[in-house]
A and B are shown apart, each in its own frame.
Chain A
């Protein structure tokens, strides 16, 4: 299986379309950084809203850490499309190219094919995320400098000291990787049932959009199904940027407000990944290869 994994990784990085995602992310992040560099103050005023009428908040609010947070908020909705471009092509692309029948007539089990391909797609996802992390965090720090991060949540604001942030980003990116791997697993799963990749790509994005709507709208009817949707749990990376407070409402450095939420969401995502990959194995084993 290691041979197959290496071959799959080789094939992924030999295809020009793989680099579209890296270029797209670079361009998107560049645009956001440019916008915030030029109009950061206005954006901060908008974000602070009414708060700036009562309070004077001094410091470099539009710093690298804040910019990175904004980028993650925006891009973790769009990055799934870029992941689907590759993951949704893993099986259906082979069927479309006609190489699936040759591949599956080789002495490798279909389980090995699924696992090897999924691992390769996962490595691609992680590389993409590492690139995103580099641009969003390191380059933002370089352009905007560092300071405490001041974030507005739904009901309150959180200020986290500069020396208490990096480890949170490490955790957030690891969690984001898990979230993106869920998208990889979904796209991959859909790819097993199709003979060309357009269907699975569109289906993956549609499912994410559809589920995100359910996850974000505060309608009692939707509240019942929210806990089961992976899109509800994909945003749990934000929990790394919330802190516990003491009896005087002073934030406790090094703390996470709801660590149980992170763990729970991580488990839900892992279950999704395992389930989707398992069904993919089962489906491919049962499938008659007619392409």
Chain B
């Protein structure tokens, strides 16, 4: 009987250690995959979908250089981005050694089975409070992330991969965030009408925002001059 209990305890503990190792392993493997990319530039079509903003599709160029340099560049035109948001960078998050990694189980994201990994930066000055990654274990791809920041609220990112999934580079990313309701004095707008229907008014009070990036023309590991950043 005693032997049976010890066996069960040993098996459970081993299992626990195996799982714990799995999560760290998983993160390491994802990091290794990401390390294949030293730098990239990519063109993206940016669709800003905020309830109370009517914006056209914009064209941007994004530059990345290891370890943490990222720049979104719109040659011409106005870009609307959540504050502190889009330049969130998994490299920075994952390469932070002062990090607590917690396995939070599994779930399905867009039909793909993923492992939920919570990352807690241990530094009290870190901008990120917590970041939850939904990792596709089979392909070592981050399918989704949910991040809460100190200054700029929370946001979610959903990644969709295509040809460059071997480099961990998505073909599409959807960035979701919250927006505060805003009010503007009428004197500034000098608008006369306030004849929107109730449905329209309600629609405009929706506090969710979304930016969808559709990437194309990746140029990987060809070097990016520092002056871009």
Contacts and interface: CB of A to CB of B under 8 A. Distances in A.
Interface of A: 46-47, 49-51, 53-61, 73-74, 147-148, 150, 152-162, 164, 215-216, 218, 226, 232, 235, 238, 242-243, 245, 248-251, 253
Contact of A250 (B49, B79, B85): B49
Given A154-B186, A245-B54, A251-B56, A57 B192 contact: no
A218 B180 CA distance: 25
A164 B57 CA distance: 12
Contacts of A235: 190-192
B54 A249 contact: yes
Interface in B68-97: 74, 76-85
B228 interface: no
B192 to A, nearest CB: 5
B182 A159 contact: no
Contacts of B77: 59, 147-148, 161-162
Given A155-B196, A248-B49, A56 B190 contact: no
Contacts of A74: 190
Contacts of B191: 153-154, 235, 238
B183 A73 contact: no
Given A152-B184, A251-B54, A56 B192 contact: no
Nearest to A245: B54
Chain B, interface size: which category? 35 or more
Given A50-B180, A55-B83, A148-B77, A154 B49 contact: no
Contacts of A60: 78
B74 A156 contact: no
A249 B179 CA distance: 15
A179 B48 CA distance: 35
Contact of B78 (A46, A159, A226): A159
Interface string B13-43: 0000000000000000000000000000000
Contact of A249 (B51, B153, B190, B196): B51
19 contacts: A50-B181, A51-B182, A55-B81, A55-B82, A58-B79, A58-B81, A61-B78, A147-B77, A152-B189, A154-B184, A154-B191, A154-B194, A155-B201, A156-B54, A162-B77, A235-B190, A249-B49, A249-B53, A250-B56
A36 to B, nearest CB: 14
A238 B184 CA distance: 17
Chain A CB count within 10 A is highest, among B47, B49, B182, B191, for B182
A159 B57 CA distance: 10
B229 interface: no
A147 B56 contact: no
A215 B192 contact: yes
A57 B184 CA distance: 16
B202 to A, nearest CB: 11
Contacts of B47: 248, 250
Contacts of B55: 158-159, 250-251
A59 B193 CA distance: 29
- Please report whether the interface of chain B is mostly helix, strand, loop or mixed according to DSSP: loop
Given A46-B188, A49-B182, A250-B47, A57 B80 contact: yes
B161 interface: no
B184 A59 contact: no
B188 A147 contact: no
B228 to A, nearest CB: 16
A243 B79 CA distance: 17
B50 interface: yes
Interface in B156-208: 177-186, 188-194, 196, 200-201, 204
A51 B207 CA distance: 12
A148 to B, nearest CB: 4
Given A47-B188, A148-B77, A154-B189, A54 B52 contact: no
Contacts of A155: 52, 194, 196, 200-201, 204
Nearest to A55: B80
A253 B47 CA distance: 13
A80 B54 CA distance: 32
Instruction: List 10 A-B pairs, minimum CB-CB distance, nearest first.
Output: A59-B78, A50-B182, A156-B52, A159-B55, A148-B78, A251-B54, A148-B77, A54-B179, A249-B49, A158-B54
A53 B83 contact: yes
A147 B58 CA distance: 12
B88 to A, nearest CB: 13
A226 B192 CA distance: 10
Nearest to B82: A55
A56 B54 contact: no
A159 B77 CA distance: 9
B50 A56 contact: no
Contacts of A215: 192
A175 B228 CA distance: 44
A164 B74 CA distance: 17
